[in-house]
Amino acid sequence: MAQWQSLQQLDSALQNRVKQLYEGRFPLEIRHWACDLIETRDWDSAAVDENAARTCFHVLLECLDEQWNRSVQENTILQAPNFGWMKNFLLEHLQNDCSNLARVLSDCLKEEKKILDLAAATPICSDQSVVPQKWKELDHNVSELKRKILELKKEIKTLESLNEKLDFIQKTWQSNAVEQNIQPVQIQAQMEQGCLNQAMFITQTKQIVLNQLVNLLNQASQTVATLTDVELPEWKRRQQLACIGSPVDTSLELLQKWFTAVAEVLLGVRDQLQKLQDQNNIYSPTDASNFSASIAAIDKFVLSNVTKLLTNALVVEKQPVMQKLPQRPLILKTGNRFRVTVRFLANLPDFRCLLKVKPVFDKDVEEVKSVSGFRLFDFTTDNSKVLDVDAPDGGLMAEFEHMSLREKLKRSKALSENPVGVTEELHILRFVTVLHHAGQTFNIEASSLPVVVVTSSSQVPSAWASIMWWNMVSTSEPMNLLLFADPPPISWQQLSQLLSWQFLSVGQRGLDGDQLSMLRDKLLSDPEGLVHWSKFSKDESVWIWIDGILDLIKKYFADLWRDGAIMGFVSRHRTSVLLQDKPTGTFLIRFSESIRDGAITFSWVDHSSGETHVHAVQPYTKKELSVLPLPDAINHYSLTAHGKSFNPLVYLYPDIPKDTAFQRYYNVSGAAPTKKNTTDYVGRNLASVSINPTPPPSPPREAPIYEDNNVNNNPLLPGVNCMDNNFDDLLDLPEDIFCPSNQLQPLSLRDAFNDPLLSDPNMMDH
């Protein structure tokens, strides 16, 4: 249980990342209650061995059975979790796919280890581990409300006893006097005076109780205002930032605790007011009118606070997200499934199964009526759900797991068109419900953050740019769905933070000052330090280039990025400056600036010819990295010069031996073998080779971003180029040989016949 215990010691932001690992993949409660077994099984082997996976599956079932039997023997069934549900989940969802269970747990355990390593390498700030003072004060105020309502209940109970006693005396003192042979006339004055004194005491007590009620309600009203006007908007803002990559805490644990407690107090006050009214009607009917007016005024005040609290209690806990894009919420594609989770923060037993929530697309959105060309969508099915206690924490929630959108019939074009593009058009999902409780009706709504609806996967990068921009600049309601008709700029400080979050989210490592400085030079031209929407997303497609690099990291070298082996955003000029004083063979890895869809390259320094030269290999694209992992490309990179082949890469910048930096990432002991075929061809390997580097005399200028990475043929030597292609076919050269870029020229046919290795007959046999 060591790993799970360690995870529970992390701060809430990292714990939330652990929670996200399991969302939609495996129940977190099973991970918790079967942690010992899960951490001791070999899930890596089970992931590739069906028999081993099935064995692990049955052992996991037995573990849950043992836990259930223990709770029965110890008579702790009510306190124990629902082990029966856990077992049924495994049987229903994973019994026929045990290998998938093994793959999921293998992956999650590895990711947990990465999070622990990240936490160990990150210094803990003292203020992060401390609960904010305002939360301590709010928690204290809520506890005080709970204490005061308990005292108030005791006071009203005492008041009821006093009324009952007085009523009993008034009705029985005469008969009791006769039984004791006392003439009623003799003690009448005394008894009447005693009853009058008791009645005055009761009246004073009632006034004290009313004053206590008013004081309690004033404090409760302030707490309601704090929850609905301060804490809830701040949580929603944190959720906005979390959606675009910020590692902030979005837990609802405290808010649910406070909403529930205050709702319980307010509803308890209404119950006590009714008891006071009933007592007054029974025991003081002559004083009923004045007292009833006071009770009614107080009850009206209570009801206004209850309404404010409950109508704000429904929240979208998890924003709309497609299963295919878990790290990019708020982008929805027509016809594709997405999920949303809503939660009711006032988690009282009386509310369970009373709230049926219905999602409505673009409800009360003015743009639907006022903007011509605004697209119309609807859900493919009725997705209404009843809120129930489904979460391990007992929360009152509903998860909409099978939602999808379809576009309605095209609207006829009016005189003016939609002022924003498809990936800038924003929509809203609203969740509506009605609560009937204690004779009152509460109309309750919650809204998602704005979503972008796309019809093609190619629109996702631009849509994500819109989502990031909107959530960075919009912090208040009502939501401006036409923000991109006239998009405001954002400061470089905001944008740099936003970009760093993207890399932190994808590769668990943000951008440092040097990397951001390079991006700043590309993005910032405004003298006031502002970045404009057109500069970021449209004119020069800088975001598309950055997004391509994020995709590279996610798919091909997230571990290298996380561990700091990749320098990343560093210009060619700065590369030369960093390497020129380093020993021969020192290299660094950086992102290509010339390939729009993202690519990566490495540059190394060479002092062997008496001059300092910095070489850069042609960038590796996604296609090449899909067949040759970057660590193996570095390990088996071969440079042929002056008749000799060698690997020029010796030290990873600044001075780390290559194998020390990359050995744990190597996948193969040699160059990647090609697929086996049934012919008599000689086998070959896929390797990374450069021949005869010719370094430029000075650092080249930055190349513009372009989409096509094909190397242009030499128009001056068309015949030679054609012969080169034919010669490659005759020699059966590797299909994916990686030719160097403008700094390392590919070997031509003419060069090949001039090469001593090929011109020497003795060498040709080798």
Domain residue limits, the chain: 2-121, 133-311, 314-488, 493-540, 559-764
What pLDDT, on a 0 to 100 scale, did the predictor assign at position 722? 34
Q: Identify whether the C-beta of residue 403 lies closer than 8 Å to the C-beta of residue 337.
A: yes
Say if residue 287's pLDDT is above 70.
Answer: no
Lowest average pLDDT, out of 216-225, 444-453, 565-574, 701-710, goes to: 701-710
* Neighbour tally for 300: CB within 10 Å: 9
| Cα(745)–Cα(693) distance, integer angstroms | 7
What pLDDT, on a 0 to 100 scale, did the predictor assign at position 470? 92
| Cα(278)–Cα(132) distance, integer angstroms | 44
Mean pLDDT of 252-277: 90
Checking 182-191 for CB contacts under 8 A at 24+ apart, the result is none
Mean pLDDT of 529-548: 82
CATH of segment(s) 559-764 = 3.30.505.10
Which residues lie closer than 8 Å to 29 by C-beta, 6 or more apart?
Answer: 81, 86, 392
Residue 550: pLDDT band (50, 70, 90) is very high
Q: How many residues does the chain have?
A: 766
Lowest average pLDDT, out of 106-110, 153-157, 425-429, 477-481, goes to: 477-481
The secondary structure of residue 706, as a DSSP letter, is B
Say if residue 377 is exposed, middle or buried (CB neighbours under 10 Å; 0-12, 13-18, 19+): middle
Lowest average pLDDT, out of 2-16, 151-165, 184-198, 604-618, goes to: 184-198
Q: Identify whether the C-beta of residue 84 lies closer than 8 Å to the C-beta of residue 68.
A: yes
Q: Identify whether the C-beta of residue 444 lies closer than 8 Å to the C-beta of residue 432.
A: yes
Most confidently modeled of 29-33, 278-282, 316-320, 437-441? 316-320
Say if residue 671's pLDDT is above 80.
Answer: no
Most confidently modeled of 40-54, 182-196, 720-734? 40-54
Say if residue 565's pLDDT is above 60.
Answer: yes
314-488: CATH topology is Immunoglobulin-like (2.60.40)
Which CATH architecture does the domain made up of 2-121 adopt?
Orthogonal Bundle (1.10)
Q: Identify whether the C-beta of residue 474 lies closer than 8 Å to the C-beta of residue 480.
A: yes
Name the nearest CA neighbour of 205 among 156, 168, 164, 166. 156
Name the nearest CA neighbour of 689 among 659, 720, 734. 734
Report how far apart, in Å, the C-alpha atoms of 476 and of each of 230, 307, 635 are. 12, 22, 52
- Specify the 3-state DSSP secondary structure of 372: coil
What pLDDT, on a 0 to 100 scale, did the predictor assign at position 734? 33
Mean pLDDT of 347-357: 87
Strands (E), 220-345: 314-322, 331-333, 338-344
Q: Out of 1.20.1050.20, 2.40.50.100, 3.90.79.10, 3.40.50.300, select the CATH number for domain 133-311.
A: 1.20.1050.20
Q: Looking at per-residue confidence, does 102 or 705 come out higher? A: 102
What pLDDT, on a 0 to 100 scale, did the predictor assign at position 751? 41
Q: What is the mean pLDDT of the chain?
A: 78
Which residue in the block uniquely carries the two structure tokens 């108030």? 152
Mean pLDDT of 337-363: 89
The secondary structure of residue 568, as a DSSP letter, is B
Say if residue 688's pLDDT is above 70.
Answer: no
Most confidently modeled of 108-117, 194-203, 257-266, 677-686? 257-266
pTM of the model: 0.70
Q: What angle do CA 315, 319, 322 make, to 5 degrees?
A: 150
Which residues lie closer than 8 Å to 60 by C-beta, 6 or more apart?
Answer: 30, 34, 37, 38, 90
What pLDDT, on a 0 to 100 scale, did the predictor assign at position 685? 52
What pLDDT, on a 0 to 100 scale, did the predictor assign at position 132? 79
The two tokens of residue 307 are: 């309404």
Mean pLDDT of 612-634: 89
Q: Looking at per-residue confidence, does 764 or 502 come out higher? A: 502
The two tokens of residue 64 are: 């849950």
What pLDDT, on a 0 to 100 scale, did the predictor assign at position 541? 72
What pLDDT, on a 0 to 100 scale, did the predictor assign at position 198? 75
| Cα(599)–Cα(738) distance, integer angstroms | 13
Mean pLDDT of 693-720: 38
Which residues lie closer than 8 Å to 409 by C-beta, 6 or more apart?
Answer: 376
